Amino acid sequence: MSLEEVKGLGKKTVKNLKKAGIKSVEDLANSDIDALTEIEGIGKASAEKFIESAKSMLEDTPEEKEVEKIETEIEEPTLTEEEEQKIQEEVRKQEEKIERLEGTALEQGDFVLVKITGKTRKGNVFRVSSEEDAKKAGIYEEQEARQGQYTPDFVVVGKPGFLNEGLMETVENMKYFERKSVRIPPEKAFGKRDPSKIERIGIAKFRRMNKGKPPEIGQEFTRRTQQGAQRGRVRNIVQGKVIVDYNHPLAGQYVDYNVEILDKIEDFDKKVEHFMQNKGIPPDNIEDFKIEYDEKYKIIEITVPQMYLFQNLTYLKFGLANDLQTYLSDEVEDVKYIEIYEKMPMPSQQATEESVMQKIQEYSEQQEQLEEPDETETKEEDLEEE
């Protein structure tokens, strides 16, 4: 029996289990629920189900096992030999990496994946690194999940723009695969509250700036300035004035974080993929982009898929190119984007003629209806003549 035969286990979950050292149904049946929940993509409910399924398989009679195996094969095909070998190779490499890196300190410029859970002093969770954690905290949103928001953070150690100051200092002083809990003060988290970031706007002016809509307490509000967009929230409406607060919602607060260093990203292609994800491309859509790298001339060519051609990707493309040239400067000189606009099929002569004839017929029918005298008017005219 193999893990692929356990009901509910998809290819990705099997892969993650094997990376964690769980390579058989027996291993899974004897696993601890809390230990399974530490594996990416597995929550408590799923862990309980997987363990129960594994135990049931071990207890079943040979006939029942055969039936269950057939059902499982129908529900989800088992991995091919090539896929199995690829997973085993990845597992072997990951085990070697863990053995090589575990206990060693992170270094400036390392590319790492970090699992982060953020809470306020009141215990309200505002940041997670998995869909299961988001659901547990009651902050899960389908749209956010599709955009890949509930995933570990990709961080270049010591570089700005990835984490707040307090978190970056924490990560810089950690070791690979280490876990740590920290409390970060406001000045190193989301800043102290700044009175100058609170604006009072007249209701009439606010409506003009808000597409004619009246203000509502708690609504998000964006103001366009020469320096860029300012995002705030309506805090109150007092004496004809709308009070808008542009401070971060957590400004002035101490925040608690649970931090874990999950992995070091060493493969060039993986680094590129993570930079793309950081720029807002959902993980499931990254494979739609064709990426080619010319090592000799240090050029990356990215072919944009059809589904993205009619979206405004100017800032995304500029930001991604800048990240690749900045953080992979020894390997990337130029970034090229290729956009292919395929020729739209032209309608055939017969289809065009049929379309024209149909429009002529519809027009003729409309004209006939307009020319037909109204029965009521006809009857009234007849009565007048009598």
**What's the confidence (pLDDT) of residue 148?**
86
Mean residue pLDDT of the chain comes to 86
pTM: 0.66
In one letter, which amino acid is 48? E
- Quote the CA–CA distance of 22 and 25 in Å, as a whole number: 8
Rounded to an integer, what distance in angstroms lies between the CA atom of residue 119 and that of residue 255?
6
pLDDT band at 173 (very low <50, low <70, confident <90, very high): very high
C-alpha 304/C-alpha 312 separation (Å) is 12
Q: What digits encode the pLDDT tens for the residues 206-227?
A: 999 998 999 999 999 998 887 7
Mean pLDDT of 258-269: 96
Q: What is the CATH number of domain 111-189+253-262?
A: 3.10.50.40
Pure H helices in 138-267: 142-146, 165-172, 203-209
Q: Would you call 97 exposed, middle or buried from its count of C-beta atoms within 10 A (0-12, 13-18, 19+)?
A: middle
Which CATH code, of 2.40.10.330, 3.50.50.60, 2.40.10.220, 2.40.50.70, is assigned to 195-245?
2.40.10.330
| 384, pLDDT greater than 90 | no
Average pLDDT value for residue range 46-58: 82
Q: How confident is the model at residue 184 (pLDDT cuts 50, 70, 90)?
A: very high
What confidence score (pLDDT) does residue 367 get? 67
What confidence score (pLDDT) does residue 383 get?
Answer: 40
**Class at the top of the CATH hierarchy for domain 3-101:** mainly alpha
**If DSSP codes are grouped into helix, strand and coil, which group holds residue 79?**
coil
What percent of the chain clears pLDDT 90, i.e. is strictly above it?
55
Domain ranges of the chain: 3-101, 111-189+253-262, 195-245, 267-339, 349-385
Q: Is the pLDDT of residue 117 over 50?
A: yes
Q: How many CB atoms lie within 10 A of CB 282?
A: 15
Tokens of 139: 């902050």
The confidence band for 62, taking pLDDT boundaries of 50, 70 and 90, is: low
Q: Which of 113, 156, 149, 152 is nearest to 324 (CA)?
A: 156
The predicted structure's pLDDT at residue 11: 73
CATH number assigned to the domain covering 267-339: 3.30.70.2210
**pLDDT tens digits for 66-115?**
544 445 444 555 778 888 888 889 889 889 999 999 999 999 999 999 99
Query: What letters, b where the CB count within 10 A reaches 16 and e where it falls short, cover 305-322?
Result: eeeeeeeebeebbeebbe
What mean pLDDT do residues 252-279 have? 96
pLDDT over threshold 60, residue 385: no
Q: Is the pLDDT of residue 231 over 70?
A: yes
For residue 283, the surrounding DSSP H or E stretch is helix 283-286
3-class DSSP state for residue 293? Answer: strand
